[in-house]
Amino acid sequence: MSMKTKTMSNPYLTLFSIGIKDTLAYKANFILSLFSSLAQAGLMILIWTAIYHFTNTTSLVGITLSSMYIYFFLVYAFRSVINMNLPEVMQQDVQSGSVAAAYTRPLKYPLQVFFNSIPDDMLYALIITLPLLVIAVLLSPQPVSSFTALLVVVELAIGYSLVSLIGFMIGMLAIKMVNIYGIANSMWSIMLLLGGGVMPLALFPNAITHILMFTPFPIMLYTPAATFLGIVSSSEAINSIIISAVWVVALAIISAAAWKFVRKRITSAGG
């Protein structure tokens, strides 16, 4: 049997291939998202420029204004990697009855929904993350070491896993509630705030920052950006990776148990 035949016989790879074709049909949406991310990053830079100017300071907890510029380009670059679209996908599947229908095919729905979302995430990373990351690198006063780059990549991979697991758990609520748009948006806002998407977590009171570093949120945005800028040391970054990896395992176990419970309640009329 040829390699091509083997690939096409795998339903998940076939689904992945179809997802790429579907995603490429909406390239204009990604271009608009890039300009939107640039505009939002620019707005945050203007806000923080005003804060530095009116407080007559050159540094906040060791973060200079130029570092703050780079921070927000990094944050909006990484936001495109850890975007949470699984709840929306699962909500649409529940409303169309695709969840129940998935079990008439040789596809496990949790894997199906993950493989369905990967092409979309990949294109976001290619079209939005890379340009913003290039800007951050060009603005950086010193080159990023290969070890630092490796730490950032590992942190982003873990952050992507955490957001996917959280998104899947929220998506499961659609089987009971049908419409979870408000819950998903609220959770995304919380993740942005506690993950450093509004301001670096180093600006929070020390006690709050210390507590947050034991949650799954910092590694989604703050830790990779802070690692890139040298705001956190390599040892602190590694500690964050270890803590976040434990969260990945814990959430994966919880998600699997929750899906096993929810799966028994799926009917043709309810998903």
Tell me the pTM. 0.81
Q: Return the domain boundaries, the chain.
A: 11-263
pLDDT digits (tens, 9 = 90+) for 138-160: 998 888 899 999 999 999 999 99
How confident is the model at residue 40, as a pLDDT?
A: 87
The top-scoring range by mean pLDDT among 28-32, 67-71, 112-116, 176-180 is: 67-71
pLDDT digits (tens, 9 = 90+) for 193-238: 999 999 999 999 999 999 999 999 999 999 999 999 999 999 999 9
CA distances from 200 to 43, 165, 205, 260 (A): 16, 24, 11, 38
Q: How far apart are CA 18 and CA 51, in angstroms?
A: 47
Mean of pLDDT over the chain: 82
Which residues are CB-contacts of 38 (< 8 A; sequence separation ≥ 6)? 76, 132
